[in-house]
Structure 1
Amino acid sequence: MDGVLEKAAVKRVAAALQEHGCAGQIKVLSDSARTAAEAAAALGIEVGQIASSLIFKLPDGSPLLIITSGRHRVDTDLVASNLGIEKLGRVDADYVKEQSGFSIGGVAPIGWVSPAT
């Protein structure tokens, strides 16, 4: 796990936390945590205590970030209806990396390389 705290993505998250006055520290896990279940197991907490950052594409091509409990699934039809659009677009790993600066499974809700809705 050496050098993880020096990665650009981790530094962006740390800077965003500091900018917004959030105290605390970034915890580096020794186990894989690419899913809410894996993150909960690594932290010794319930899946519902994990926040999942999910990215979708709006009709204009911009990203939409939805944060939900790791225990829940997003009703994309309901979200689209509430936004007055036909449907939310699915995204691939390249889109996620390009928009957020993070890899799928490790998307933070802050510290993005470009703004999200």
Structure 2
Amino acid sequence: MNGVLEKSAVKRVIAAMQNYEIKGQIKVLSETAKSASEAASGLGIEVGQIASSLIFKLPNQSPLLIITSGRHRVDTDLVASNLEVEKLDRVDADYVKEKSGFSIGGVSPIG
């Protein structure tokens, strides 16, 4: 837990919050949370209160960030249809880190 707030990814989130005047605070969990369920448990809230930030890959290889309630699954066929693309690809941890700067389970919607 020591030094978490000093990580570059966390500093980007803090800077974005300040830049856009977003009120709130960053809470550091004592245990790693790699899923919405683990995050909710660590915060003592319901999984539906967690916003999951998920990254997919579009056919043109660009990343797509989708934010959903922690209790819901993304219907990739529906999203692809709405975006008028053939499909969305699921991505691995390396792609998420490369494109967002965050690790899976810790992707922020800002920063």
TM-score, normalised relative to structure 2 = 0.97
Gap runs ≥5 in structure 2: none
Q: Deviations over 1:19-69 (max 9, x none)?
A: 100122211110221100011011110000000001000111111000000
**Pair 1:13-2:22 in alignment:** no
Counterpart secondary structure, 1:9: helix
Gap runs ≥5 in structure 1: 112-117
Partner of 2:97: 97
Letter in 2 for 1:65: L
Partner of 2:68: 68
- How many angstroms apart in 2 are the aligned matches of 1:88 and 1:102? 20
Partner of 2:33: 33
Partner of 1:85: 85
Counterpart secondary structure, 1:21: coil
RMSD: 0.8
Aligned positions, number: 111
Bigger CA drift: 25-34 or 5-14? 25-34
- How many angstroms apart in 1 are the aligned matches of 2:21 and 2:65? 22
Partner of 1:115: none
Q: Deviations over 1:56-105 (max 9, x none)?
A: 00111111000000000000000000111110012111110110000111
Q: Kindly, what percent of the aligned residue pairs are identical?
A: 79
> Which aligned segments of 4 or more residues in structure 1 are displaced greater than 4 angstroms?
none
TM-score, normalised relative to structure 1 = 0.92
